[in-house]
Amino acid sequence: MTILKHSLSFIKINVFLRYLILLIIFILSIIIGNFYDSGDQINYTNSYNAIAGRDIFSAYLLYTYFINAAEIIHFLVTWLGSSLGISKVLLMAIFNTFLGSLVINLFDKLKVNFYVTISFLLTNFYIYVIFFGAERLKFGIIFFLLSLIYSDKVYHRTIFFILSILSHLQSLIFYSGYFVKLFIQKFNWFLRSLKIKWIYVLAFPFFLIFLSIIQSAFFSKVLAYQGERSALDFLRLLIFFLMSLYYSKSYKNTCFSFLPLFFGVLLVGGERINMIGYMFFLYNALQYRNGLNIGILITTIYYFYMSYNFISNIILTGNGFNV
């Protein structure tokens, strides 16, 4: 009976701590979000105010004018939120909190020590970038995390994958390693059997349609990041790759995951590609000794320092990316 009481108390404390962390994320999102009024947030705020109460078609035209992007999920969220009279800071705070709950859910699924989860959610630079800077990417990552959480359910995983792509085109990079692996497997099967599955023939026209839809957005992204790549970008990604190999349970999957990222650095530079590389490293390292390892410790300290500078810039200048 005593053991049962201790177990119930432990569960209650764990539940309380998780809700407490989410409350802290919500409060921080409100406080810091009110400071972040410069940089990209100028266009986001102007768009949010302009589309409030308008019909969906005229609102979408205004949205693309201010944001110069066509991510449908972010548009629908901001259109509904602004039309309901919810302040933009409050709306993003709600989704930041939801994102935090997904991180907790996924880390619990990976059996990560909860103190590691706390330090990640409250001190990590990339988390704060997603919370306050990369507003459209936030929704792509939300659905990406959902696809990981429901990875054992094909239907749910597929739906969340599609929604992640619709939220932000960059989400394709999250899944690029899987597509490379799948292509190589199917191509090897074709070479061995010299047979063609009709489902691939029937799916090919839809694949071409998909490519035609995303090509303009893809090339505009490539042109936008011209000149931003450097040898340091490759070095950072290489470090994440080597650390991922060390902690990985599958060297093959790790190689497939990182291979498209090195090409991504060539195309668009390393700023966001390295963030994805870090996420892949994180997924591997968190599963080693419940996240209590030197790789997680070193990156936690490093990104805590970066997050301190990021938040200081927001408070002092209204833009986290000011130097």
Q: What is the pLDDT of residue 223?
A: 47
In a domain, 85, yes or no: yes
In a domain, 269, yes or no: yes
Helices 40-51 & 56-67 angle (0-180, nearest 10): 170
Q: Taking Cα atoms as reference points, which of 314, 307, 309 lies closest to residue 128?
A: 307
297 has a pLDDT exceeding 80: yes
In a domain, 2, yes or no: no
Tell me what percent of the residues of the chain surpass a pLDDT of 70: 77
In a domain, 302, yes or no: yes
CB 66 within 8 A of CB 47: yes
Per the model's pLDDT, the better-predicted residue between 210 and 122 turns out to be: 122
| pLDDT confidence bin for 256, thresholds 50/70/90 | confident
4 has a pLDDT exceeding 60: no
141 has a pLDDT exceeding 70: yes
Q: What is the arithmetic mean of pLDDT over 163-184?
A: 70
The pLDDT tens digits of the residues spanning 265-287 come to: 777 666 778 888 899 999 999 99
- Exposure of 184 in the CB half-sphere (CA atoms within 13 A): 11
**CA–CA separation, 149 vs 252, rounded Å?**
22
Q: Taking Cα atoms as reference points, which of 115, 123, 159, 168 lies closest to residue 141?
A: 168
78-82, 107-111, 173-177, 217-221 — which is least confidently predicted? 217-221
Q: What is the pLDDT of residue 88?
A: 96
Q: What is the pLDDT of residue 232?
A: 77
218 has a pLDDT exceeding 80: no
CB 103 within 8 A of CB 43: no
In a domain, 7, yes or no: no
Whether 126 and 224 map to the same domain: the answer is: no
Whether 303 and 273 map to the same domain: the answer is: no
Location of structure tokens 């990875």: 151
Give me the number of domains the chain comprises. 2
**CA–CA separation, 148 vs 178, rounded Å?**
13
17-21, 24-28, 55-59, 189-193 — which is least confidently predicted? 189-193
CB 121 within 8 A of CB 103: yes
18-27, 71-80, 159-168 — which is least confidently predicted? 159-168
Whether 156 and 115 map to the same domain: the answer is: yes
Whether 84 and 228 map to the same domain: the answer is: no
96-105, 119-128, 165-174, 197-206 — which is least confidently predicted? 197-206
Whether 306 and 280 map to the same domain: the answer is: no
169 has a pLDDT exceeding 70: yes
In a domain, 1, yes or no: no
The pLDDT tens digits of the residues spanning 284-295 come to: 999 999 999 999
Q: What is the pLDDT of residue 305?
A: 94
Tell me what percent of the residues of the chain surpass a pLDDT of 90: 50
Q: What is the arithmetic mean of pLDDT over 112-124?
A: 95
Q: What is the pLDDT of residue 170?
A: 76
Whether 34 and 52 map to the same domain: the answer is: yes
129 has a pLDDT exceeding 90: yes
In a domain, 212, yes or no: yes
Q: What is the pLDDT of residue 127?
A: 95
212 has a pLDDT exceeding 50: yes
Q: What is the pLDDT of residue 157?
A: 84
Whether 321 and 279 map to the same domain: the answer is: no
Whether 17 and 123 map to the same domain: the answer is: yes
Secondary structure of residue 84 in the 3-state scheme: coil
In a domain, 268, yes or no: yes
Q: What is the pLDDT of residue 272?
A: 75
Location of structure tokens 């599958």: 250
Reduced 3-state DSSP string for 112-159: CCHHHHHHHHHHCHHHHHHHHHCHHHHHHHHHHHHHHHCCCCHHHHHH
Q: What is the arithmetic mean of pLDDT over 1-6?
A: 56
* Averaged confidence pLDDT in the chain: 82
Whether 160 and 22 map to the same domain: the answer is: yes
Which residues does 47 contact at the CB level (< 8 Å), separation at least 6?
A: 62, 63, 66, 67, 78
Per the model's pLDDT, the better-predicted residue between 215 and 89 turns out to be: 89
Q: Taking Cα atoms as reference points, which of 115, 161, 149 lies closest to residue 283?
A: 149
Find the domain containing 264 and state its range.
172-292
**Reported pTM:** 0.82
Whether 158 and 306 map to the same domain: the answer is: yes
Whether 78 and 163 map to the same domain: the answer is: yes
Whether 134 and 254 map to the same domain: the answer is: no
Q: What is the pLDDT of residue 32?
A: 96
Q: What is the pLDDT of residue 21?
A: 95
